[in-house]
Amino acid sequence: MLLLRSRPVPPSPVSPGDILAEAEALHVRLGARDVLHGVDVAVRAGEVLALVGPNGAGKSTLLGALAADITPAGGVVRIHGRPVSDWSAPELALRRAVLPQSSALSFPFSVEEVVRMGRAPWAALDPEDDEAAVAGAMAATEVTAFAARPFSALSGGERARV
C-alpha cells in the first residue's frame, strides 16, 4: 500500500485590515531574563507597523514570537486567528515568511569569547595587548555589561554590537 502525504491547503486571500498575527499578554524569557512581558500587538493586512526601540528592547524577540520561531513563556500568539501551537510546520510555512537579521552561532560562546575571536590573527603575540584590545572593543560598543552572557541569548541589536 502506497501512502502519499497530502499537502496543506493554501490559505485564503486576506482582506485589508484582517489580523494576520497577534499576541496577547505575551511573555518571553531568554535564559533567566524576561525580555517581553504583557505585550499585546496585532499585525493587520495592508497596514504598516513599525517596531522602534533601543538595542535589546525586544523588537527581534517580538518578531520571533509572532513568527512562531520563539516559544513564549506565557500569553498567546495567533496566526490567522489560531494559536500557533495548532498549526503544523507545513501550514505555518504557507502563512508566514521570515528573513533573519543574522545567522545563529552554533556554539555556546560568551559575548567576551566572541569578541576575543576577533583577536585571532594577533593571539599569543602579547597577551596583555589582547586583554586591552578586547576590553577596549567591548567598551567602545557598550557590551561590557553583558560580557559573561551567552551570545545566543542576545537580541539581534545586541548581537550586531558584538
Q: Assign 3-class secondary structure to 24-73.
A: EEEEEEECCEEEEEEEEEEEECCCCCCCCCCCCCCHHHHHHHHCCCCCCC
What is the model's pLDDT at position 92? Answer: 87
What is the model's pLDDT at position 3? Answer: 57
Rounded to two decimals, what is the model's pTM?
A: 0.62
What is the model's pLDDT at position 79? Answer: 95
List CB contacts of 134: < 8 A, sequence separation 6 or more. Answer: 112, 115, 116, 119
Determine which helix (DSSP H) or strand (DSSP E) holds 159, and give its type and residue range. helix 156-161
Longest dimension (CA), the chain: 70
Going along the chain from its start, the domains and CATH numbers come out as 19-93 (3.40.50.300), 111-161 (no CATH)
In the numeric block, the cell 504583557 is attached to: 38
What is the model's pLDDT at position 155? Answer: 84
Distances (CA, A) of 21 to 13, 24, 124: 15, 10, 51
What is the model's pLDDT at position 109? Answer: 92
Question: How do the pLDDT tens digits run along the chain, 162 residues long?
Answer: 555 556 667 788 899 999 999 999 999 998 888 999 999 999 999 999 999 999 889 999 999 999 999 999 999 999 999 999 999 888 888 888 776 666 666 788 999 999 998 887 666 667 788 889 999 999 999 999 999 999 988 888 888 888
DSSP state, residue 87: S
